[in-house]
Structures are given as structure tokens and as C-alpha cells.
Structure 1
Amino acid sequence: MQTVRTILVVDDEPAIVHVLALKLTQCGYRVLTAWDGAIALELARANDIDVVISDFQMPELNGMQLAAALRTDPRTAKIPVIILTARGHLLGDNWEDASNVRQVLAKPFSPRALAEIVGRLLPTTSNGDALRGAA
């Protein structure tokens, strides 16, 4: 039996949240959304999240601050994070020091390509079913 995986999408641009939620739902994922990093952190702590997709530049906590906060909590430390940014040059190579940040994507990006990255980040069992909580 396959478990429905939960993806948390965090962006202060409603159009991006809508497009990503639609694409990920079409791929069979359960999608939770947040408009800023503080709300996202609350959602991540209250739900079994498998992957976080977060904008870099947001109110309250930016994407890297959110990733850092997730790393400090044993319940959320292993959740893989994908950072979306229109300002990739500001990140430099610093993101490579964040163990839970697995990918940084520059905007604009392909929602289909992002869905493929999410699929690759989710560990699977030998029968192809996704493992919840492993990473």
C-alpha cells in the first residue's frame, strides 16, 4: 500500500503557490501551503512533512532561516528542503553548508522539473513505495 506523501510549499507569491500546489496534487501528493516562513515552521512541526519547497526571500523567516529552524528540531531535522530563488547570486555556495537543503532552483523554473526533483528526494522501498520519515 502506497502512503500519500505530504509536501509543504512556502512562498509569499500566491501565483507560485497555486501553480506548485496544482502540479504536485496532480502528481498524487498532499500539499500544504504557507505564505511565510513562520507559518511554514508551525505547519512542519504539526504535520508529517516529507519535503519542503520554500522561496528564499519571504517575510518573517526567509527560506534559509526556515531550513535552519527545521534542522534544530529533531522532528523536522531530516526533512529535505528545496529553495526557490530569483536571487540565486545572493545564496552563493552558503546553502551547501545547510545539510537539509538538497536543491536550490532559480526562478523561473519548470513545475514539472520541480515535481521530478521532489520524486527523487523521496526514498522508496524495494517495491517502489515511498518511505515516510526516512531520509
Structure 2
Amino acid sequence: MAAKILVCDDEPHIVHVVAAKLRGAGFEVLTAADGQEGLELAREAHPDLIFTDYQMPSLSGLELCARLRADPATRDIPAVMLSARGFSIVDEDLTHTNIRKVLPKPFSPREVLAIARELLEGAAAGAR
């Protein structure tokens, strides 16, 4: 069964590019246009990995990850933060969330795919 990945970003072209690359590699992809929708989808669908933008309306990516970490049902879902230049994430934020990597924008779709494979393979190895 293909791993399920949630892509959460308020920029439609980012969602399209990331989702297309992941789908092309055989992953099942869910998409959300903001943090609140991403939170609801994550709780409902329990993805194996989340790519989320940092700055979004209604709920930032950091708030999304903190809420997921606080919920026993979603606390172990790893996340990758997509961050525009000028936005920095401090180490303290990483320790209180499920963020495993920070990927600065602009990024290559190949980087997204490599990170997805790395994190999902690491999770599979840890589950054995």
C-alpha cells in the first residue's frame, strides 16, 4: 500500500508541483489549502507524512504541527516545514512539534521526493 502524504500550502502552484511529484513516485497525496483544513485532514486520514507551509491563513504551519503533536492520535506523524526566506524556525519550535526537516523556498521537486523517501524509509525501519 502506498504511503499517504498530506501537502498543506495556501499557494496552489506549490501544492500542484509537490503533489504531482509525489503522485508520480507512487504516493497517495491529500491536499489542504490552509492550516485548519490540514489539521482536519490529518486527524481524519492519518497520513504517513506532512509537508506544510510555514505561513498560512487561519492556522500557521507551526501551529498545525504543534496541535498535531499535542494530539495522541497524530503526535507521531512526521512533518516537513516549507519556509520562505526571511522566516526562521528556532530549535525550540522543532522540539515541541513533529517537524523533522525544514525546506526553504524555493526548492526543487526532487528535494521534496528525496526528503519524503528518507523520512518514510526511516519511519518504516523504526517500526520494524
Per-residue deviation, 1:95: 3.2
CA distance in structure 1 between the partners assigned to 2:4 and 2:78 by the alignment? 12
Q: Which of the pair has more CA radius of gyration?
A: 1
Matches within 5 A, 1:46-125: 46-123=44-121
Per residue, is there more helix in 1 or in 2? 2
Contact 1:55 1:83 in 2 (8 A): yes
Aligned to 1:16: 14
Uncovered stretches (5+) of structure 2, i.e. residues with no partner: none
Q: TM-score, normalised by structure 2?
A: 0.90
Aligned length: 127
Q: Tell me the C-alpha RMSD between the 2 structures.
A: 2.1
Aligned to 1:7: 5
Q: TM-score, normalised by structure 1?
A: 0.86
Q: Are 1:43 and 2:66 counterparts?
A: no
CA distance in structure 2 between the partners assigned to 1:88 and 1:115 by the alignment? 24
CA distance in structure 1 between the partners assigned to 2:86 and 2:26 by the alignment? 29
CA distance in structure 2 between the partners assigned to 1:76 and 1:107 by the alignment? 26
Per-residue deviation, 1:74: 1.1
CA distance in structure 1 between the partners assigned to 2:29 and 2:68 by the alignment? 18
Contact 1:79 1:100 in 2 (8 A): yes
Uncovered stretches (5+) of structure 1, i.e. residues with no partner: 125-129
Runs of 4+ deviating beyond 3 Å: 87-90, 92-95
